[in-house]
Amino acid sequence: MNQFDDSTRTVDGHVKWFDPSRGFGFVVSQEGGGDILLHANVLRNFGQSSIADGARIEIIVQKTLRGEQAIEVLHIEPPEGAGMAILEDFRSLDPDMIRSVPMEPARVKWFDKVKGFGFANVFGRSEDVFIHVEVLRASGLSDLAPGEAVALRVIDGKRGRMATEICPWEAANRDGEGASQPVE
């Protein structure tokens, strides 16, 4: 018996939960029905290593013997109510000014969810960029992996360079955010 049904369909839904350490999670379709498996490899092919619970997602699914599973991620939006993180460092800044800062390509040095922060390096610059967990959540992500390529909006905050928004590098490039190519 064939493990896969040759037919696929596009599904709009939301992430029920996703656990990067377990390598999978589930999506609930807007149309209802059973949970749809979202494997970490499928998410990585989209350019992300994690996704926030409740994030809106468009996927291509295929039926298997164990139920439906995502085979490709087409689009992701942060969960309802997510948006710009309101950290103390951002309160005195104009939100339009923050949104006007161009995305910059970067690599994650490390990120610790328990501590609630981490650091990245923007290509071509030596200083670290601080990443707060609230900025990560507001950007629709739940975790970052060391070495992960991301795009950041970076401002000079009271305590140094800080990320105000994070997205997968591939998504920023696809969406035409204007980020330049990484410098080798």
pLDDT of residue 5: 57
pLDDT of residue 61: 96
pLDDT of residue 180: 39
pLDDT of residue 4: 53
pLDDT of residue 26: 96
Which residue positions in the chain have pLDDT lower than 50? 1-2, 174-184
pLDDT of residue 83: 52
d(CA 41, CA 55): 18
Instruction: Write the DSSP assignment of 67-116 as a string of letters.
Output: EEEEEEEEEEEPPTT--S---GGGTTS-HHHHHHSPEEEEEEEEEETTTT
Mean pLDDT estimate for the chain: 82
157, two tokens = 């905050």
Which has the closest alpha carbon to 137: 166, 101, 102? Answer: 166
- Domains with residue ranges and CATH for the chain: 4-77 (2.40.50.140), 88-174 (2.40.50.140)
pTM, to two decimals: 0.63
pLDDT of residue 118: 95
